[in-house]
């Protein structure tokens, strides 16, 4: 069986009791997600296409669908919503080739990092109208600030990564887990 422990690539020590701003914490989480997402991309693309696309009865049918959903969430929440492009949002989904998936992941990673660099306390408070369709087909409209959007994205990506980990382990493939100890703010 494979080792399922979380890898740490050398904790970076910070001074004890150091106060970290929410902006710095959000930036660090976004950066950590972008960096560690690369491991999931590589592990996914190591799988034969048949295994990547096999319906596994998860939140989205295949492990590739779950990864693409993670990417699509980032496009929706960090680009389409703030730029009021919700009606013209094109989902990141389907039977994409490895090069298409790599391009999408790279583009989304760069956009996420640019957003992280632009964060300020006032920007976190920026509010947006979100319009969409629920899973049952019912339309909704709500307001959300960028702070809530970022923490929601972090929570959802971690949830789907856990799901991907379980699917990798069911295939007896080592999941590309990496602990927060490898983050810029790890203490």
What pLDDT digit, counting tens, does each position of 69-104 carry? 999 999 999 999 998 898 899 899 989 999 999 999
Cβ neighbours around 164 below 10 Å, total:
21
pLDDT of res. 116: 95
Instruction: Write the pLDDT tens digit of every residue in 130-147.
Output: 998 888 999 999 999 999
- pLDDT for 1 equals 44
Tokens of 89: 């949002």
Write out the two tokens for 10: 């050398």
* Stated pTM of the model: 0.87
Using an 8 Å Cβ cutoff, are 152 and 73 in contact?
no
Higher pLDDT: 12 or 163? It is: 163
Q: Which domains does the chain have, with CATH numbers?
A: 22-182 (1.20.120.450)
CA–CA separation, 20 vs 73, rounded Å? 27
Tens-digit pLDDT profile for residues 143-177: 999 999 999 999 999 999 999 999 999 999 999 99
* Whole-number Å distance between alpha carbons of 69 and 75: 10
Half-sphere exposure of 119 (CA within 13 A, CB side): 24
Neighbours of 93 (CB within 10 A): 13
- The pLDDT score that the predictor gives to residue 2 is 47
Average pLDDT, the chain: 90
Distance CA 31, CA 12 (A): 15
């Amino acid at each position: 069986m494979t080792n399922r422990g979380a890898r740490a690539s050398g904790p970076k020590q910070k001074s004890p009791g150091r106060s970290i701003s929410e902006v710095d914490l959000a930036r660090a989480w976004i950066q950590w997600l972008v960096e560690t997402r690369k491991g999931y991309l590589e592990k996914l693309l190591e799988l034969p296409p048949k295994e990547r696309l096999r319906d596994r009865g998860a939140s989205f049918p295949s492990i590739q669908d779950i990864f693409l959903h993670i990417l699509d969430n980032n496009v929706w929440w960090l680009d389409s919503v703030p730029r009021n492009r919700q009606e013209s949002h094109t989902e990141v989904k389907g039977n994409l080739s490895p090069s298409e998936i790599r391009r999408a992941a790279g583009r989304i990673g760069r956009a996420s990092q640019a957003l992280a660099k632009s964060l300020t306390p006032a920007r976190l408070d920026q509010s947006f109208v979100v319009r969409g369709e629920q899973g049952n087909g019912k339309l909704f409209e709500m307001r959300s600030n960028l702070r809530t959007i970022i923490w929601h994205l972090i929570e959802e990506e971690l949830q789907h990564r856990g799901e991907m980990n379980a699917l990798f382990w069911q295939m007896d493939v080592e999941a590309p887990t990496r602990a927060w100890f490898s983050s810029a703010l790890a203490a």
